[in-house]
């Protein structure tokens, strides 16, 4: 229902921005909020998309930066109180965010994040092309020969084929 109503049935970008502990323990790979929104704008432009869904554990920095700077419509579960009031456990929010992110036209995750790796794996079970799931946020937006540098996830995060045990995902 969220996808059909908020995204109006159109393709969208989904991103996972891990914050909290990663800001302290993953300082070499975790970008700041401004770098994230700069990269999101780059992905939106490259993919020709107008909407972005952001899954994050950020208290507020990502939401604030996104609303100010992202050149497209921004959606977070926390901005939809009618939906989030039904969650009695934080894991429910996480499960819904994963479900929405897995169904996006294009996904960008956080380096070294298990949450991101589960979304990438789910996307492969859904039959999404690896190229639409493998990119992760770089520490900073860097250009090489006028093009954005790509930070790519490890290959093991993507199933090489759709297994019959996952038939319910792709039929």
pLDDT tens sequence across 68-111:
999 999 998 877 667 767 777 878 888 999 999 999 999 999 99
Q: Among all chains, which residue has been given the structure tokens 């949450």?
A: 115
pLDDT tens sequence across 23-39:
788 888 888 889 899 99
Q: What's the rounded Cα separation, in Å, for the pair 115 and 100?
A: 13
Structure tokens at 111: 């380096």
Going by C-beta distance under 8 Å and a sequence separation of 6 or more, which residues neighbour residue 109?
15, 16, 115, 116, 117, 119, 120, 135, 136, 137, 153
* Contact predicate 12/52, CB 8 Å: yes
CA distances to 3, 60, 145 from 9, rounded to whole Å, are: 6, 27, 35
* pLDDT on residue 162: 62
* pLDDT on residue 114: 92
DSSP codes joined into one string, 2-52: HHHHHSTT---EEEEE--TTHHHH-TTT---HHHHHHHHHHHHHHHT--EE
Name the residue with higher pLDDT: 19 or 100.
Answer: 100
Q: How many residues does the chain have?
A: 171
Spatial strand order in the sheet of 73-75? 73-75, 51-56, 13-17, 106-108
Pairing outcome for strands 135-136 and 151-152 = antiparallel
Global pTM? 0.86
């Amino acid at each position: 229902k969220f996808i059909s109503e908020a995204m109006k049935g159109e393709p969208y970008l989904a991103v996972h921005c891990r914050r909290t502990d990663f800001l302290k323990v993953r300082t070499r790979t975790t970008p700041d909020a401004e770098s994230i929104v700069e990269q999101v704008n780059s992905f939106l432009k490259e993919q020709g998309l107008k909407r972005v869904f952001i899954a994050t554990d950020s208290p507020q920095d990502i939401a604030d930066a996104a609303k100010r700077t992202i050149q497209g419509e921004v959606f977070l579960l926390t901005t939809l109180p009618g939906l989030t009031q039904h969650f009695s456990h934080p894991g429910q929010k996480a499960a819904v965010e994963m479900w929405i992110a897995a169904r996006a036209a294009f996904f960008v995750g956080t380096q070294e994040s298990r949450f991101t790796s589960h979304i990438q794996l789910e996307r492969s079970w859904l039959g999404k092309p690896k190229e639409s799931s493998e990119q992760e946020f770089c520490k900073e937006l860097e250009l090489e020969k006028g093009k954005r540098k790509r930070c790519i996830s490890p290959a093991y995060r993507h199933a090489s084929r759709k297994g019959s045990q996952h038939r319910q995902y792709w039929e």
